[in-house]
């Protein structure tokens, strides 16, 4: 019998946070190994665990999986969060891909200067409110259902809620012009597994702070403003 998934990453959001979200949404308990030293990272490299010499890495069902998209796709399929057929899966891939693009604008945020953070904040809010949120607002309005795909809870819903909450950290009223998304946020946040993950004491990570940034830089030997792998 396979043990609980084990996640290898830093003690912060980065690319692993979406994996935490999806496992939590599926009601799956998981363990974490936090990278704090260069030696830990090099040990993973030397042991061949990191196929492309990058984290995040997840041990799940006897596999050592890298590449965030691959990890998420596996979890979604395993726990019935990936639609009922190929057409629904294609929609989920499309919608999560769009959300990925939006969230990607925030990945480097903790590593920017104060001035650049303000510029990036304005940029990502503009992109969210003129490109991405209008698309999801239309999807929900057009089909009149509670969820993005097939009127059933899926990875697409989890990913979009994560993005919405991240954007609200940058601009609290970012959903002010999107009534469908406001209702969506309320519905998805009240799904029992999601509600539990949003409560204090869960494995959801807070906004990345200076300690997180310093750890990532030290472990990955980053000496310039860049995003982590």
Are 160 and 95 contacting, i.e. CB atoms less than 8 angstroms apart? yes
SS3 for 6?
strand
- 225: pLDDT strictly greater than 60: no
Q: State whether 108 and 139 are in the same domain.
A: yes
Percentage above 70 pLDDT, the chain = 96
- Predicted confidence at residue 2, as pLDDT, reads 62
Euclidean distance between the first and final Cα of the chain, in Å?
31
> Residue 1 domain-assigned?
no
What pairs with residue 66 in β-bridges? 57
173 burial (CB, 10 Å; 0-12 / 13-18 / 19+) is: exposed
Residues 114 and 180 in one domain: yes
The length of the chain, given as a count of residues: 229
pLDDT at residue 224, rounded to an integer = 45
Answer yes or no: is pLDDT of 226 > 60.
Answer: no
Q: Is the pLDDT of residue 44 over 50?
A: yes
Tokens 């995003």 sit on residue: 227
Give the angle 182-188-190 at the CA atoms, nearest 5°. Answer: 105
103 shares a domain with 42: no
Domain identity same for 187 and 90 = yes
CATH number where 15 lies: 3.40.30.10
- Is the pLDDT at 52 greater than 70? The verdict is yes
Residue 35 lies in a domain: yes
On whether residue 59 sits in a domain, the answer given is yes
| Predicted local distance difference test score (pLDDT) of residue 223 | 56
Task: Label the pairing between strands 57-60 and 31-34.
Answer: unpaired
DSSP label at residue 151: T
CA dihedral 203, 56, 81, 3 (to 10 degrees): -70
211-217 contacts: CB < 8 A, separation 24 or more?
212/10, 212/11, 212/12, 212/110, 213/110, 213/111, 215/10, 215/11, 215/12, 215/35, 215/36, 216/10, 216/12, 216/14, 216/111, 217/111
Q: Are residues 182 and 115 in the same domain?
A: yes
Instruction: For residues 26 and 56, state if they share a domain.
Output: yes
Mark whether 182 and 93 lie in a shared domain.
Answer: yes
The number of folded domains in the chain is: 2
With a cut of 60, say whether residue 16 has pLDDT above it. yes
Kindly state whether residue 45 falls inside one of the protein's structural domains.
Answer: yes
* pLDDT at position 41 over 80: yes
pLDDT tens digits along 80-119: 999 999 999 999 999 999 999 999 999 989 999 999 999 9
Question: Based on the domain organization, do 206 and 135 belong to the same domain?
Answer: no
pLDDT digits over 159-192, tens only?
A: 999 999 999 999 999 999 999 999 999 999 999 9
**Residue 99's domain is classified under what CATH number?**
1.20.1050.10
How confident is the model over 115-166, as pLDDT tens digits?
999 999 999 999 999 999 999 999 999 999 999 999 999 999 999 999 999 9
Please indicate, yes or no, if residue 229 is contained in any of the structural domains. Answer: no
105 located within any domain: yes
Clarify whether residues 128 and 216 are in a common domain: no
Pair 106, 171 in one domain:
yes
Are 33 and 95 part of one and the same domain? no
114-127 and 155-170 are packed helices; what angle lies between their axes, rounded to 10 degrees? 130
pTM, to two decimals: 0.94
Q: Are residues 56 and 106 in the same domain?
A: no
Does 168 reside within a domain? yes
Domain extent for 129:
86-191
The reply to whether 225 falls in a domain is no
DSSP structure string for 162-214: HHHHHHHHH-TTTTTT-HHHHHHHHHHHTSHHHHHHTSTTSS---S--HHHHH
């Amino acid at each position: 019998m396979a043990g609980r998934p084990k996640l290898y990453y830093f003690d912060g959001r980065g690319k692993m946070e979406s994996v935490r979200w999806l496992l939590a949404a599926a009601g799956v308990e998981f363990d974490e190994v936090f990278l704090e030293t260069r030696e830990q990272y090099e040990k993973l490299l030397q042991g061949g665990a990191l196929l492309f010499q990058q984290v995040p890495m997840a041990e799940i069902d006897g596999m050592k999986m890298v590449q965030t998209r691959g990890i998420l796709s596996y979890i979604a399929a395993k726990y019935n969060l990936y639609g009922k057929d190929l057409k629904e899966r294609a929609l989920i891939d499309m919608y999560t891909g769009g959300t990925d693009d939006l969230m990607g604008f925030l990945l480097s945020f903790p590593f920017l200067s104060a001035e650049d953070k303000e510029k990036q904040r304005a940029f990502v809010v503009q992109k969210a409110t003129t490109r991405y949120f209008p698309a999801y607002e239309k999807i929900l309005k057009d089909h009149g259902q509670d969820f993005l795909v097939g009127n059933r809870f899926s990875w697409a819903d989890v990913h979009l809620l994560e993005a919405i909450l991240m954007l609200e950290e940058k601009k609290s009223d970012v959903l002010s012009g999107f009534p469908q998304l406001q209702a969506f946020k309320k519905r998805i946040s009240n799904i029992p597994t999601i509600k539990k993950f949003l409560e204090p004491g869960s494995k959801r990570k807070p906004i990345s702070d200076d300690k997180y940034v310093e750890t990532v830089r030290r472990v990955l030997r980053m000496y310039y403003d860049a995003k982590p792998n």
